[in-house]
Amino acid sequence: MADAYKHYIDGEWVEGEGTETFESENPATGETLGEFRKGTPADVDRAVDAADEAFEEWRELSRIDRAEYLWDVYHELRERTDELGEIVTKECGKEISEGKADVVEAAHMVEWAAGDARHPKGDIVPSEIPAKDAYMRRKPRGVTGCITPWNFPVAIPYWHMAIALVEGNTVVFKPAEQTPWCAQVIAEMFEDAGIPDGVFNMVQGYGDAGNAIVENDDVDTVIFTGSAEVGHLIQDKLGGVAGKRAACEMGGKNAIVITEEADLDIAVHSAVMSSFKTTGQRCVSSERLIVHTDVYDEFKERFVEVAESVSVGDPLDENTFMGPLIEEEHHEKVTRNNEQAREEGVNVLVDRTELDDEEIPDGHEDGYWVGPFVYEADAHADLTCTHEEVFGPHVALMEYDGDIEEAVEIQNDTDYGLAGAIISEDYRQINYYRDRAEIGLAYGNLPCIGAEVQLPFGGVKKSGNGYPSAREAIEAVTDRTAWTLNNSKEIEMAQGLSADI
């Protein structure tokens, strides 16, 4: 307990009010990685007070001076990519190239935000009145609460925080309870960069700590990435509250459409990457493959062959394709969802819900293992398994025999709208998909994972409100001012409005 890692509040490592601790666990081995203090609502309130107080001075710095702290973080992320990538892999189970890519994506986000500090911001706007200067300017909102998930434990916190900080906001960061070690390293980086006290604060903990961020009156913006369930609660709580903003980024029931024109090498490759990379635990992972009848049998045969053989195992081994699921509770959920799909009468093609003993590497018997679960389902049936997100390597093959309009209708038949892809050689179909698929991230002839930070990242419908992540976070963390200045001694109005009194 005495050695448990602490919270970082107002420039200091503090034990906080609570007496409880929690452990970080390696999901591939069950090994304990570290002990962390469990933050209480009182700890969050203290962090918010510190952030609120730090805001007035932080906003007075130029964007360029604020970005200097971020450049230090950027260099550290670059220098320590291999080491941190291994920490990501140990703590969240992603295979090692994904662990490192998580850190590289974080570095890209910080680079974008810090580099953006030297770019012009806002607009010079024409006025009907020659003596008027009109501008759109941005100003920081204040304290930003960042509640982040475990599946991208380094990249996503920086998606939320990097632009917020450069734009002059202060931050209270509540990382996922499954990945506190990654968060500890993030906090150490801000400390190493010498960021002024109170500008960045981190409170480790569970849902009650996250909830305390949402409920604190002095938090101006909440940025959340995680489950739809929690995101909708946050939106409901803050939606109508004056002065508050909730920018939420949630899951999906993402699909790939494979048309009769598709290059099947690209189709199989894209589907395998999208459905099984990160063991299906990306918000952009695909759980539906909508395949034209002309290529259905061949695609099915080839996809099933890979799903049966794709390697599941030690994520630190470079030859592994899929690591474990994140934790026991999630393992139970995925297993239950696979069973439920069977109960709904689908035709199961591959079921590696339970791996054979010889597939599990020595020393990894306590990991949360599953392999691919692949089934055929009626594209037009109202099934839970083809409409609700599982967040695992659980994927439906759905056949269609009409035109692209039918495929897109099937793709849009979900409450979610995050990501998707079309695999086709027909540009009419590709363009129709691009314009009509109800999603925020659309890909052509590519997997529907692997977005880069210089594009907006976010969804529509139940998948999100606003684009709180990657470059579009600017909208979440700033308010716009329409600023108009009169340079003459007369008052002259637009729209022909009389100024006579």
Query: Mind telling me the catalytic residues?
Result: 249, 283
Q: How many CA atoms lie within 13 A of 72 on its CB side?
A: 14
Query: Min. distance of Cβ 451 from ligand UN1 in angstroms?
Result: 3
- Of the candidates 444, 446, 416, the one whose C-alpha atom is nearest the C-alpha of residue 432 is 444
- Which one, 199 or 284, has the nearer CB to ligand UN1? 284
Which residue shows structure tokens 């990379």?
277
> Which residue of 46, 282, 302, 471 would you call a contact of ligand UN1, by CB under 6 A?
282
Query: Min. distance of Cβ 389 from ligand UN1 in angstroms?
Result: 11
- Which one, 216 or 285, has the nearer CB to ligand UN1? 285
CB atoms within 10 A of CB 229: 9
Given a contact cutoff of 8 angstroms between Cβ atoms, the answer to whether 338 and 360 are in contact is: no
- Which one, 109 or 379, has the nearer CB to ligand UN1? 109
Given a contact cutoff of 8 angstroms between Cβ atoms, the answer to whether 473 and 160 are in contact is: yes
- Which one, 46 or 108, has the nearer CB to ligand UN1? 108
Task: Write out the DSSP string of 335-386.
Answer: HHHHHHHHHTT-EEEEE-SS--GGGSPTT-TTS-----EEEE--TTS--STT
| Residue 389 lies near ligand UN1 (rule: CB under 6 A) | no
Query: Min. distance of Cβ 282 from ligand UN1 in angstroms?
Result: 3
Query: Min. distance of Cβ 421 from ligand UN1 in angstroms?
Result: 12
Stretch that binds ligand UN1, among 14-22, 126-134, 280-288, 326-334 (CB under 6 A): 280-288
Stretch that binds ligand UN1, among 33-41, 47-55, 179-187, 279-287 (CB under 6 A): 279-287
| Residue 98 lies near ligand UN1 (rule: CB under 6 A) | no
Which residue shows structure tokens 């805001």?
55
- Which one, 54 or 109, has the nearer CB to ligand UN1? 109
| Residue 92 lies near ligand UN1 (rule: CB under 6 A) | no
CB atoms within 10 A of CB 405: 11
Q: Output the CA torsion sign for 300, 306, 312, 317.
A: negative
- SS3 call for 64: helix
Polymer length in residues for the chain: 501
CB atoms within 10 A of CB 357: 7
- Which one, 9 or 449, has the nearer CB to ligand UN1? 449
| Residue 272 lies near ligand UN1 (rule: CB under 6 A) | no
Write out the binding residues for ligand UN1, residues 446-485 only, by CB under 6 A. 449-451
- Which one, 81 or 216, has the nearer CB to ligand UN1? 81
Stretch that binds ligand UN1, among 27-35, 84-92, 190-198, 281-289 (CB under 6 A): 281-289
| Residue 97 lies near ligand UN1 (rule: CB under 6 A) | no
Query: Min. distance of Cβ 242 from ligand UN1 in angstroms?
Result: 31
| Residue 350 lies near ligand UN1 (rule: CB under 6 A) | no
- Which one, 66 or 282, has the nearer CB to ligand UN1? 282
Write out the binding residues for ligand UN1, residues 113-172 only, by CB under 6 A. 151-152
Q: What phi, psi does 386 have (nearest 5°)? A: -100, 5
| Residue 442 lies near ligand UN1 (rule: CB under 6 A) | no
Distance CA 353, CA 80 (A): 36
Number of residues that bind ligand UN1 (CB under 6 A): 9
| Residue 103 lies near ligand UN1 (rule: CB under 6 A) | no
| Residue 227 lies near ligand UN1 (rule: CB under 6 A) | no
| 234 Cβ contact partners less than 8 Å away, ≥ 6 residues apart | 147, 214, 222, 224, 246, 248
Given a contact cutoff of 8 angstroms between Cβ atoms, the answer to whether 256 and 421 are in contact is: yes
| Residue 287 lies near ligand UN1 (rule: CB under 6 A) | no
- Of the candidates 217, 226, 154, 221, the one whose C-alpha atom is nearest the C-alpha of residue 190 is 154
Task: Write out the DSSP string of 67-98.
Answer: HHHHHHHHHHHHHTHHHHHHHHHHHH---HHH
| Residue 291 lies near ligand UN1 (rule: CB under 6 A) | no
> Which residue of 70, 117, 219, 284 would you call a contact of ligand UN1, by CB under 6 A?
284
Encoded tokens for 144: 């930003």
Query: Min. distance of Cβ 73 from ligand UN1 in angstroms?
Result: 19
- SS3 call for 493: coil
| Residue 30 lies near ligand UN1 (rule: CB under 6 A) | no
- Which one, 142 or 417, has the nearer CB to ligand UN1? 417
Which residue shows structure tokens 């996503």?
156
| Residue 199 lies near ligand UN1 (rule: CB under 6 A) | no
Binding site for ligand UN1 (CB under 6 A): 105, 151-152, 282-284, 449-451
